[in-house]
Amino acid sequence: MNKLFEDASYVIEQIESKGFKAYFVGGCVRDYCLNRPIKDIDIASSAKPEEIQSIFPKTIPVGIEHGTVIVRYNQVSYEVTTFRKEDKYEDFRRPSKVWFVTKLEEDLSRRDFTFNAMAMDKNFQLIDPFNGRDDLKKLQIRTVGKPDHRFSEDPLRIMRAFRFMSVYGMNIEEETKFALKKNAPLLKRISTERITVEFKKLLEGEQTGKALQLMRNCGVFPFMPYPIEEICEGSLLSFDWSSLKSEEQRWAAVIVLTKVDDERDFLKLWKLPNKVIQSVLNILSSYKKTKWTKMDLYTTGLTEALSGLRLKCLLEDESFEEQASKLKQLANEIVIKSRDEIPLNGEDILKIKQKAPGVWVGQLFQELEKEIVEGKLPLSEREISDWVRRWGKE
């Protein structure tokens, strides 16, 4: 038995010993049925939050108003949520009101997709009132109840459908697809941060191209944080997304394939971290390069240069290994990897020049760095000191 399930079974046993019901629910049940790795485990119970707190010595009241308490056991957190029903979603995210119920099936009926509305008891007996297991076998995404209602409640479920399609290699059932397309404009009411989380997961999936192509066909792209209007014909499906090795490479590919004009603005509107933005921009700069100098490679860095090259080779159907080998060889010829490896620092420069600090120090270092990188000046403290003495006099 999976160690997480083993420990979580103990949590369920403790709840049951007090006369309450408890079941595994949500993603852990779905992934168990798909024989995929289990990352975390959620539990639904007839016990109310204060009753859960009275059973376990270590709990965290993360969302008592919505019935959720975290139970800590063996240094792992388990979310335990009381069976509940929900009222209308007034902010397209949270229900305006929740109330606790006694039946598991009522709790499962509020969930988004059928394969997320399954439960298991501690003996791994499946409770599946909406035929989620059949949908998993068919690799089909279908909502619980009316899809139009589910997507209008929380439009982020539209992005979740595409994410599941990409990650699990699934198809979206026709009625669900129709409602998804109809409700796509509601994505404008969802925070960028929530959309970005789902989109990043989509880009990591096994069927990224297929999911992006359907997003295009369903008219979802105009309602993204950066509206996408033009796409390289046929490229979303034919592009080998699985060959991309990092988040930054995937974002760079999206920009190229969707013909984004303002790359920096695109990345900022998705509210990505500045470090990620700069890395993506470096990759795109590398992608556009046709010839590399030592200084180009030193400034960009080998990792991002190779990322840009990989993207270029994938799009233009060229051999990556041969060109990467040449780039690595050029990198090996560069005697320093950063300015810190220069044997003189700022204080040494000031002593040699006998001048007050100023912007000239930065200018000198820039020129010195370039001389060393391009191989015009040996990495020798004596020769570098002589060069510094001559600097500004020639």
Phi, psi (deg, nearest 5) at residue 215: -60, -40
Burial of 319 (0-12, 13-18, 19+ CB in 10 A): exposed
Say if CB 133 and CB 33 are below 8 A apart.
yes
Residue 42 marked as a ligand binder: yes
Say if CB 259 and CB 226 are below 8 A apart.
no
Say if CB 169 and CB 206 are below 8 A apart.
yes
Residue 27 marked as a ligand binder: yes
Residue 375 marked as a ligand binder: no
Residue 150 marked as a ligand binder: no
| CB under 8 A, 24+ apart: contacts of 174-180 | 175/142, 175/147, 176/141, 176/142, 176/143, 176/147, 177/214, 177/218, 178/147, 179/143, 179/146, 179/147, 179/148, 179/150, 179/151, 180/147, 180/151, 180/218, 180/220
| Spatial separation of the C-alpha atoms in residues 259 and 231, rounded to whole Å | 6
Residue 134 marked as a ligand binder: no
Residue 189 marked as a ligand binder: no
Residue 340 marked as a ligand binder: no
| Binding site listing | 27, 30, 40, 42, 111, 154, 157, 160, 163
| Binding site listing for Mg(2+) | 40, 42
| Binding site listing for CTP | 27, 30, 111, 154, 157, 160, 163
| Binding site listing for ATP | 27, 30, 111, 154, 157, 160, 163
